[in-house]
Structure 1
Amino acid sequence: MRIVVTNCNTTQEMTAEIVRGARSAAGQGTTVTGLTPAWGPESAEGWLDSYLSAAAVLDTLRTHDGPPYDAVVMAGFGEHGREGVRELVDVPVVDITEAAAHLACLLGRRYGVVTTLERSRGQIEDSLELAGVGRNCAAVVGTGLGVLDLGDTGRTQAAFLAAAERARDAGAEVLVLGCAGMTGLQRAVGEKLGLPVVDGVAAAVKLAEALVTMGLRTSRAGSLAKPVPKRRTWGAGRD
């Protein structure tokens, strides 16, 4: 089985870190390949970045000429483009945002998301609502760290623990890592928190494997039906 993991930004180092986490979660016989957009934001941190990232990821998959793959994992927490990718490709597409939330709902009644900057809360909340798991979210809490600040392990762990306590006080019984760059952090902080911590990258990989093994694909009925190819008419008559 071959899984493609798409980074939502152009930072190659983050793609490599995400792929390491994905491979550690993958089962025997699963190959994980990372894709980094050639253009777009260096780090996706806000509405504008998110929309640009969605277009870049879609373009990357649309023009991909590598080996065929069996599933796509979208490694951008709360980022846009999920439904567009499902319409574009003919294999299962699993977004780390909804994958983590769905697994968290199996472990407790309410979960909390610990993410990077507070300004990311709105789009994460919208993404969870669209995925149908927003009502179980007790809180989305920012650490105050930017995506590219997550390489400082000691600082990241301290900020995560402080934010996680706020989420727990808000009623969270399970915690979700709210950024693909936090992959691996669950092992370091899970015991200190006394709560289950779900990593979206690992969750998405395991769900993607399950969908492929079960022979399930995205429905083509209704909203995700393949669009009818359009003949380009804009600019007609111009030299």
Structure 2
Amino acid sequence: MRLLYINPNSTVSMTEAVVEVARASAPGLDVLGWTNHDGPPAIQGPEDGAAAVAGILKLLPKARAEAVECIVLACFDDTGLAEVRAAAHCPVIGIGQAAFHLAALLGHRFSVVTTLPVSVPVIEENVAAYGFAGHCARVRASGLAVLEVEAAAPATLARLAGELAAAAAEDGVTAAVLGCAGMAALAPRLSQGSGLMLVDGVAAAAHLAPGLVGAARAMRG
């Protein structure tokens, strides 16, 4: 199965990290990763998200030509999900959507640990729109910018670990959803001592995509 991760921002190193995580999570899949070079370097809030959509849509004819069977939008805000889903030839899922579904399917009440406060309203709206308000205790902003998270300095890892510890102590949850594509590669380090199941949307999408494609085929007959 050919699975395409589209990074809505223009930071190529983030695309490469996402693809590495996806391939490790689902080694049987043919995983591609494309960067939206027309997007902002990072998506932090609704304005950045809106600026990225046109560039994502430009990639869809190429996805069809290369026989992609499922598209994953690799921004935790699920940037452009409705627009891309309406225009694409195949199933489309966002990493935020995938993470929420997987956490709920595994029976967890969760908090989300994300980047800047500007991202919190977008994530809260998505949680509610997908029907997971009852599963999500809180969306926590770490105060870290997206590219800070991707750089993964020791102080950044410590800040994220502290936010996860606070979620475990204060929120009454059994899982934490990592609310940024840049956190995907950090999940193994952050899980140590967190006391929570960590759900990364990049890996979650890799696990869910084959079932989504199979269901779409079956329903088409």
Is the Cα–Cα contact under 8 Å of residues 9 and 37 in structure 1 kept in the other structure? yes
Q: How many Å separate the matches in 1 of 2:106 and 2:153?
A: 27
> What letter corresponds to residue 210 of structure 2 in structure 1?
E
Match of 1:90 in 2: 89
Equivalence for 2:143:
144
Cα distance between partner residues in 1 of 2:121 and 2:129: 12
**2:203 match:** 202
Identity %: 38
Report the Cα distance in structure 1 between the residues aligned to 2:131 and 2:147, rounded to whole angstroms: 29
Contact 1:19 1:33 in 2 (8 A): yes
Q: What is the TM-score normalised by the length of structure 2?
A: 0.91
- Structure 1 Cα separation of the partners of residues 210 and 152 of structure 2: 31
Per-residue CA shift, 1:156-190, capped at 9, x if unaligned? Answer: 22111111123221222210110011113221122
Map 1:89-168 → 2, pairs under 5 A: 89-150=88-149, 151-168=151-168
- Alignment partners' CA distance in 1, 2:166 and 2:100: 18
Q: Are residue 193 (structure 1) and residue 194 (structure 2) matched?
A: yes
Following TM superposition, by how much is the alpha carbon of 1:63 offset from its aligned partner in structure 2, in angstroms? 5.4
Does the 8 Å CA contact 2:73/2:79 hold for their aligned counterparts?
A: no
Determine the structure 2 residue equivalent to 1:35.
34
Which secondary structure does the structure 1 equivalent of 2:211 belong to?
A: helix
Number of aligned pairs? 218
Output the aligned Cα RMSD.
Answer: 2.0
Gaps of 5+ in 2: none
Is structure 2 residue 15 aligned with structure 1 residue 19? no
More helix by share: 2
Identify which range, 197-206 or 182-191, moves more after superposition: 182-191
**Aligned 1:218-233 pairs, distance under 5 A:** none
Asked if 2 retains the 8 angstrom alpha-carbon contact of 1:22 and 1:201, the reply is: yes
SS at match of 1:183: helix
Seen in structure 2, the aligned counterparts of structure 1 residues 208 and 65 have a Cα distance that, compared at 3 Å, is closer
In the alignment, the residues of structure 1 paired with residue 92 and residue 108 of structure 2 have an alpha-carbon distance, to the nearest angstrom, of 26
Post-superposition Cα deviations, 1:48-85, rounded to whole Å, max 9, x if no partner, equal: 00111223212222455752111101111014311111
- Using the TM superposition, give the Cα deviation of residue 109 of structure 1 relative to its aligned residue in structure 2, in angstroms: 4.2
Shift, 1:35, TM fit:
1.1
SS in 2 for 1:184: helix
Give the Cα–Cα distance (whole angstroms) in 2 for the partners of residues 109 and 182 of structure 1: 20
- CA–CA distance in structure 2, aligned partners of residues 48 and 207 of structure 1: 29
Partners of 2:108 and 2:147 in 1: how far apart? 32
SS of match in other structure, 1:113: strand
SS, match of residue 42 in structure 1: coil
Instruction: Provide Cα deviations, 1:6-29, integer angstroms capped at 9, x if missing partner.
Output: 10200111111111111111132x
Structure 2 Cα separation of the partners of residues 109 and 2 of structure 1: 30
Instruction: Give distance in 1, aligned partners of 2:133 and 2:199.
Output: 16
* Cα contact 1:94–1:207 (8 A) shared by 2: no
- Quote the offset at 1:98 in angstroms: 1.2
Q: TM-score, structure 1 length as denominator?
A: 0.84
Q: Which moved more, 1:48-57 or 1:5-14?
A: 48-57
Q: Which whole-Å CA distance do the structure 1 matches of 2:182 and 2:215 have between them? A: 30
